[in-house]
Amino acid sequence: MAEDNVNRRSFLKQTLAGSTLAAAFTGGYFALRDEGLSLETGKGEVRQRRQPVSLPPERPALCIARGEDPEKLTAAAFKAFGGLAGVVSSGDVVLIKPNIGWDRPARLGANTNPAVVRTIARLCVDAGAKRVIVSDNPCNNPVRCFDRSGVKKALGDLPVEIHIPTERDFVEIDIQGQVVKTWPVLRVFLECDRLINVPVAKHHSSAVLTMGMKNWYGILGGGRRRGELHQNMARSIADLAAFARPDLTVLDAYRVVFRNGPQGGSPRDTREFKTVALGTDPVAIDAFGATLFDLAVRDIPYIPLGVELGLGTADFDSLSPVELEV
């Protein structure tokens, strides 16, 4: 833990340019403002907010790959996208945020496919990232979720940090959403240079579907308090999507839960769409994902809210998606 604290202090010294921050976080909290992300220490404010990557217009905004092998699908989608050039640079700290919410094996489709997570992590390492971190705050026991999902095993031979959160790994944030106000947020989410969202597409009994925008529930702490988010789930999802602002969203739709979600529990609850989609527009990714379940945008209340907040377009066809069979 002492080494971890040194790393955090080093990160802050590097990223809060020109600031003098003697005692990080003591008696303070992060506050999200329109002009940036502020760290309030009681000795003034230092604004810092990770800006999502901006890619040239000739790069495809949405790539969709279909085929038999999830690892090959993911690699092919990234190749069509142009790889991670311009997204991940040498020295970056990259956070990969899959959905590892449930104590379920990969064959049940409740968590992001471990082969998809592994492929993205390997590409980040190959791109020269200084640190590649994989983290989520599961609903079930975190250690069991990372083990049983197959994600921990899939990453075993890669120089990747598997971050299983404890209560000390959250910082109170003023998110300033319409529904989501001050909330404990994963510190690794706040400290990364690049953010890659890797949800699994699946049925959700309250949200209709859970995909990219809904996946941000997994950066929150709060224990039982997370139930408050279900009181106005669509707006909560939109609030968190506006806060998160990922660089890329990679939707795992290889094997999905199509009923009894979000946990499922039986192979009979799953279907194989054998699809991976990636892009820079999180709303478009979710709008595409809805079509896999034969649903329209209007059937998923948080997607129109994402459009309303200016987070992207629900007309994913307008992005001229690159589609390929692998």
- The domain locations on the chain are 54-164+187-325
Identify the residue with better confidence: 56 or 7.
Answer: 56
Identify the architecture of domain 54-164+187-325 in CATH.
3-Layer(aba) Sandwich (3.40)
Whole-angstrom distance, CA of residue 118 vs CA of residue 114: 6
Average pLDDT of the chain? Answer: 87
Over range 115-144, report the average pLDDT. Answer: 97
Whole-angstrom distance, CA of residue 292 vs CA of residue 296: 10
- 3-state class of 40 per DSSP? strand
Left, alpha or beta for 77 (phi > 0: left; psi -120 to 50: alpha)?
A: alpha
The β-bridge relationship of strands 248-257 and 208-210 is: unpaired
Over range 24-43, report the average pLDDT. Answer: 40
Of residues 314, 292, 304, the one with CA closest to residue 64: 292
- Is the predicted pLDDT of residue 91 greater than 60, yes or no? yes
pTM of the predicted model as reported, rounded to 2 decimal places: 0.87
pLDDT at 53: 85
The whole-angstrom distance between residue 315's C-alpha and the CA centroid of its chain comes to: 21
Strand order in the sheet with 270-279: 161-163, 131-135, 93-98, 194-198, 248-257, 270-279, 62-66, 322-325
- Is the predicted pLDDT of residue 4 greater than 70, yes or no? no
User: Per-residue b/e over 22-40, b at no fewer than 16 CB within 10 Å?
Assistant: eeebeebbbbbeeeebbbe
pLDDT at 224: 74
pLDDT at 255: 97
pLDDT at 179: 92
pLDDT at 36: 45
pLDDT at 315: 98
- Is the predicted pLDDT of residue 9 greater than 80, yes or no? no
pLDDT at 95: 98
The whole-angstrom distance between residue 46's C-alpha and the CA centroid of its chain comes to: 25
**Residue 253 in contact with residue 275, Cβ under 8 Å?**
yes
pLDDT at 40: 41
Q: At what angle do helices 70-81 and 114-126 cross, to 10 degrees?
A: 40
**Residue 32 in contact with residue 174, Cβ under 8 Å?**
yes
For 179-224, what is each residue's pLDDT tens digit?
999 999 999 999 999 999 999 999 999 999 999 999 999 999 977 7
- Percentage of the chain lying above the pLDDT 70 cut: 85
In three-state form (DSSP H/G/I as H, E/B as E, the rest C), the secondary structure along 243-295 is HHCCCEEEEEEEEEECCCCCCCCCHHHEEEEEEEEEECCHHHHHHHHHHHCCC
Over range 23-47, report the average pLDDT. Answer: 39
Over range 243-262, report the average pLDDT. Answer: 96
pLDDT at 217: 95
Point out the least confidently predicted range of 24-38, 198-212, 231-245: 24-38
- Is the predicted pLDDT of residue 256 greater than 90, yes or no? yes
- Is the predicted pLDDT of residue 26 greater than 50, yes or no? no
- Is the predicted pLDDT of residue 27 greater than 90, yes or no? no
pLDDT at 54: 86
Of residues 202, 247, 251, 194, the one with CA closest to residue 73: 251
**Residue 181 in contact with residue 276, Cβ under 8 Å?**
no
Q: How far is CA 197 from CA 98, 121, 141, 219, in A?
A: 6, 12, 21, 11
Point out the least confidently predicted range of 154-163, 228-237, 239-248: 228-237
Over range 164-188, report the average pLDDT. Answer: 92
The β-bridge relationship of strands 62-66 and 270-279 is: antiparallel
